[in-house]
């Protein structure tokens, strides 16, 4: 069975600091991996996705993530946090060859301090 | 394209009432999904559909029903609302490559 674990339900960084949100997955087949962002009272917006091409994936708003098979990880990073990055971030896994169903992590709420 | 739309945005129900959450997409996607989101729990899949006339249960289907009579619409029905169904409900759809789900803005439902 597939699963996703996001380490840290809350992460707080200062503006301009590195953002690192952790995601580990388990999957018996090569996974598709996703990061979604949710701003308050809004739906989910895709940040980036890994679908077995390049292991370093660049997304919107300066975010990127690296797929590390040996560590079963797909951590999300951004070199310099901005106040507008404050939101909740969800990691998700899918084996896209089937119905495309997503398994979500519990989410990490990112706070950015001025 | 409007993408994925959901109505209503907010609703308060009394215990035992019924209602239908509407979801529509204009991207000609075959695959559609209903999730519920509870605080600190991420999103859980309720039902999904791989095309008109075909639906299947997800992780948490109890208390819900769906139908898919057209490609565009995927309504979610609550027959006897219970407080445990207080949640935010998201509809999503995916195209033929099945690699990116597009989400609607959500419906916030409270059952009192």
For the segment A95-108, what is each residue's pLDDT rounded down to a tens digit?
655 456 788 999 99
Contact yes or no for A44 and B99 at CB 8 A: no
- Nearest of A22, A15, A3 to residue A89 by alpha carbon: A22
**pLDDT value for A96:** 53
Partners of B104 on chain A (C-beta within 8 Å) are 43
Q: Is B19 exposed, middle or buried (0-12, 13-18, 19+ CB in 10 A)?
A: middle
Q: Is B39 exposed, middle or buried (0-12, 13-18, 19+ CB in 10 A)?
A: exposed
On whether any CB of chain A is under 8 Å from the CB of B94, the answer is yes
On whether any CB of chain A is under 8 Å from the CB of B33, the answer is yes
Contact yes or no for B31 and A44 at CB 8 A: no
Q: Is B43 exposed, middle or buried (0-12, 13-18, 19+ CB in 10 A)?
A: buried
In this structure, the number of other CB atoms found within 10 A of the CB of residue A59 comes to 17
Q: Which residues of A touch B (CB under 8 A)?
A: 9, 32, 34, 36, 42-46, 49, 51, 90, 94, 96-102, 104-107
What percentage of chain B exceeds 70 in pLDDT? 97
CB B69 within 8 A of CB B53: yes
Contact yes or no for B103 and A97 at CB 8 A: no
- Residues A37 and A46: their CA atoms lie apart, in Å, by 6
Low-confidence residues of chain A, pLDDT below 70? 95-100
At residue B12's C-alpha, the angle toward residues B6 and B14, to 5°, is 130
**pLDDT value for A42:** 85
Calculate mean pLDDT across residues B103-107: 93
CB B71 within 8 A of CB B93: no
Partners of A44 on chain B (C-beta within 8 Å) are 43, 90, 92, 103
- Residues A77 and A65: their CA atoms lie apart, in Å, by 6
**pLDDT value for B98:** 65
């Amino acid at each position: 069975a597939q699963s996703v674990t996001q380490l840290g339900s809350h992460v707080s960084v200062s503006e301009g600091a590195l953002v690192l949100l952790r995601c580990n997955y388990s999957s018996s087949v090569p996974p598709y991996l996703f990061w979604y962002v949710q701003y308050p009272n809004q739906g989910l917006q895709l940040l980036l996705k890994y679908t077995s091409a390049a292991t370093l994936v660049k997304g919107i708003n300066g975010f990127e993530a690296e797929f590390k098979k040996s560590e079963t990880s797909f951590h999300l990073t951004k070199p310099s946090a901005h106040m507008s990055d404050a939101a909740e971030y969800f990691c998700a896994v899918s084996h896209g060859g089937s119905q495309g169903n997503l398994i979500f992590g519990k989410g990490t709420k990112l706070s950015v301090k001025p | 394209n409007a993408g994925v739309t959901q109505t209503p945005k907010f609703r308060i129900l009394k215990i035992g009432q019924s209602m239908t959450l509407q979801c529509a997409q204009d991207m000609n996607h075959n695959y559609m999904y209903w999730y519920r989101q509870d605080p600190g729990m991420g999103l859980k899949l309720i039902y999904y559909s791989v095309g008109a006339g075909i639906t299947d249960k997800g992780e948490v289907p109890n208390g819900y029903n769906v139908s898919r009579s057209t490609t565009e619409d995927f309504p979610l029905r609550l027959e006897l609302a219970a407080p445990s169904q207080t949640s935010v409900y998201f509809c999503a759809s995916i195209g033929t490559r099945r690699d990116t789900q597009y989400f609607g803005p959500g419906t916030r439902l409270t059952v009192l």
